[in-house]
Amino acid sequence: MYLKRLHLENIGPISECSFELPFHENGNPKPVIIVGENGTGKSILLSFIVNSIIIGKQLIFDNTEVEHGKTYKYRSPSYIKSGKTYYYSKVMFDNELQCIEWQLLNTKKEVENQLQYVPNNQDWDKIPEEESSLFWTNFDAKRNDLRELLNKNCLLYFPANRFEEPAWLNLLNLKARAEYSELKSIQNFSNRSIVHYAPLKFNQNWILDLLLDRSIFEQTITRRVASINGQNVLLNHFEGYQGNCSRIYESILQLMKIVMQTEDNLRFGITNRLSRMISIVRNEQPWIPNIFQLSTGQTLVLNLFLTIMRDYDLSEANFESLSEVRGLVIIDEIELHLHSNFQYQVLPSLIKLLPKVQFIITSHSPLFVLGLERELTNKGFSLREMPDGEEISAERFKEFGEAYGYFRETKFYEEDIRKALEEAQKPILFVEGDYDIRYLIKAAKVLNKHDLLTNFSLKDGDGFGNLDKIWNPLKQSPKLAEVVPQKIVLLYDCDTQKQDAEKGNVFKKVIPTQTGTPIKIGIENLFPLETIEKAEAYKRAFIDYTPEIKKINRGQEVVVPEKKEVNKDEKGNLCNWLCEVGTREDFVNFECIFTYLEQVIKDSSS
């Protein structure tokens, strides 16, 4: 269920706020970040969306957060903007589902006499003449569509006053047992909630259910005959887990690695039935004895995303992967209790994992906005400033400039914030892949070019095809390149058959092909013969070898020279090894890249 359009008029500080929600060409929703000073209407805007969803749930289910016939938010003339005679809202979802609200100071007839005109809005006609308010939806007429959307999408709201009690505050909290969830199978009864304040206990119990079902129903066992003491014996061989619970569990661990900021192997552990606590195990060693012992920030972030997964699991949709989870998630003040690193890196990384979830988020954090821009690019999300909902760029985000000014006036700069602010102003170096970035960082270290490389913000272009997507529009519209605020370098591998070029502040550079090196394609072409031979000696699987062959082509003998190339499944392992043991001699051919980058920096300062 996606929000498609929102219109608010004369509500509190809002004169008029109207916009359509943005989507990518593939239909996936873009995250929408609502910003603005306190008192500009951010939470008011969210309340109209949440209220509409809960009204829809009331129509389908007997149990909801709010009693039937009542609304989640107050409907009162006191919310009418000062000097106005009414407020109006219209919330539109997909399948043309819509919810309309009018609140007038007097009856409709009296307001018309006072204004001496009828508001130019076709929904005005829906208000009875002697009434001073109206709440109207077409949900009942589209009940089947509504039921389908509610049952197959996650629909969640995390208010600004959400919290979890820390373990040190309440000893019973620390010792709380994980319990199996009590799910009811009753017609028109929902086991899911829209509003969430402190869901850790529910998530803990859900994880316990998940692990139990995985252990009982999804073990893959094969039977093999083995000879023991001359007798054939039938043995059960455990080959792992396979099924829906296993897919969910692996996705949880993927989220956990980001939240805990580790690349180590993680899994959950469960204590015995007398205490029944869920622990976190790292590299098969006890790490966190009780999930309740996480920091407040870790708990808040983990709960946000575990709740999304739990709600989707309890829906009628089938969980395939994080990238297939659908729904609408509304979060008020997402940066609450979070360290700057969580705002800048962790939250944006987690949001990126859920491309089919429509996030509508309020925030005061410049670091969170900059982190989203780093992960999704400035075209990957929409930033709207209240009270009018105007779409703005990250640079126009008012808190960005104010925060930077405050830090400049202080004697002490918090290092991670300062770096993040400066990062936004650096030239950007796009390369074809993550391995290229890692090789460049290692080369800079052994070639004493670290200071030079830190002048650039390194970005993974995910293949030269995506670098072309940056370059081609500039080639077609040269004036566009002239207004790009930062210098952008697109660094292509030697085998891409491209030519060096530049347009305005954007530079296309192809790494020169190195002759006499055995690897002819990719950035590995920069490694000399001695390095490749050393890699082969360490692990033969790194390099695939095709010997010279002769073949007859249309009556002519053709000699195909021998070829060496990096095994595609070993690229990451080769990169790990070279970045660990590589020397100056191994990376000497990377000098050509740094020479070019030095020229870019020199031209920037001249």
Q: How sure is the predictor about 169, in pLDDT bands with cuts at 50, 70 and 90? A: very low
Instruction: Judge whether residue 480 has pLDDT over 60.
Output: no
Question: Of the ranges 181-185, 235-239, 440-444, which is most confident?
Answer: 440-444
Question: Of the ranges 72-81, 267-276, 352-361, which is most confident?
Answer: 352-361
Mean pLDDT of 433-445: 91
Mean pLDDT of 166-189: 53
Report percent pLDDT > 90 for the chain.
39
Indicate whether 145 and 41 sit together in one domain: yes
Q: Which residue has the tokens 């192809």?
A: 510
For every residue of 543-575, DSSP letters joined together read: EEEE--EEEEETTEEEEE--EEEE-TTTHHHHH
What is this structure's pTM? 0.65
Is residue 415 domain-resident?
A: no
Indicate whether 350 and 441 sit together in one domain: no
Final residue before a domain boundary, out of 276, 305, 324: 324
- Residue 158 contacts residue 31 (beta carbons within 8 Å): no
- Residue 350 contacts residue 305 (beta carbons within 8 Å): yes
Q: How sure is the predictor about 192, in pLDDT bands with cuts at 50, 70 and 90? A: confident
Is residue 417 domain-resident?
A: no
Within 8 A by CB and 6+ apart from 541, the residues are: 567, 570
| Nearest alpha-carbon partner for 482 in 465, 459, 502, 505 | 505
Distance CA 605, CA 488 (A): 15
pLDDT, residue 117, reads 82
Report percent pLDDT > 70 for the chain.
86
DSSP state of 358: E
Bond before 199 cis per omega within 30 degrees: no
Mean pLDDT of 269-283: 83
Instruction: Judge whether residue 481 has pLDDT over 60.
Output: no
Indicate whether 27 and 102 sit together in one domain: yes
pLDDT digits (tens, 9 = 90+) for 491-546: 998 888 888 888 877 888 999 998 888 998 889 999 999 999 999 999 999 999 88
What is the rounded radius of gyration, in angstroms, for the C-alpha atoms of the chain?
Answer: 29
Indicate whether 140 and 257 sit together in one domain: no
Indicate whether 396 and 523 sit together in one domain: no
Within 8 A by CB and 6+ apart from 204, the residues are: 176, 178, 278, 291, 292
Instruction: Judge whether residue 174 has pLDDT over 50.
Output: no
DSSP state of 449: -
pLDDT, residue 419, reads 54
Final residue before a domain boundary, out of 289, 324, 359: 324
Alpha-carbon torsion, ordered 146, 93, 385, 103, to 10 deg: -80
Within 8 A by CB and 6+ apart from 367, the residues are: 335, 340, 343, 344, 417, 420
Given CA atoms 317, 323, 327, 329 in this order, what sign does their dihedral have?
positive
For every residue of 195-257, DSSP letters joined together read: B-S--HHHHHHHHHHHHHHHHHH-EEEEEEEEEETTEEEEEEEEEEE-SHHHHHHHHHHHHHH
Indicate whether 199 and 277 sit together in one domain: yes
Total number of domains in the chain: 3
Final residue before a domain boundary, out of 292, 324, 356: 324
Is residue 171 domain-resident?
A: yes
Indicate whether 211 and 281 sit together in one domain: yes
DSSP state of 36: -
pLDDT digits (tens, 9 = 90+) for 40-94: 999 999 999 999 999 988 888 876 776 666 667 777 788 899 889 999 999 999 9
Distance CA 375, CA 394 (A): 13
Q: How sure is the predictor about 172, in pLDDT bands with cuts at 50, 70 and 90? A: very low
Is residue 411 domain-resident?
A: no
Phi first, then psi: give them for residue 167, nearest 5 degrees.
-60, -35
Mean pLDDT of 458-475: 75
pLDDT, residue 399, reads 58
- Comparing 554 with 29, the larger pLDDT belongs to 29
Lowest mean pLDDT among 162-176, 195-209, 268-282: 162-176
What stretch of H or E contains 540? none
Residue 64: domain span: 3-153+328-405
Instruction: Judge whether residue 171 has pLDDT over 60.
Output: no
User: What rounded mean pLDDT belongs to the chain?
Assistant: 84
Calculate the alpha carbon distances from 574 to 463, 493, 539, 569 in Å.
19, 17, 9, 10
Indicate whether 28 and 112 sit together in one domain: yes
pLDDT, residue 4, reads 96
pLDDT, residue 428, reads 84
Instruction: Judge whether residue 15 has pLDDT over 90.
Output: yes
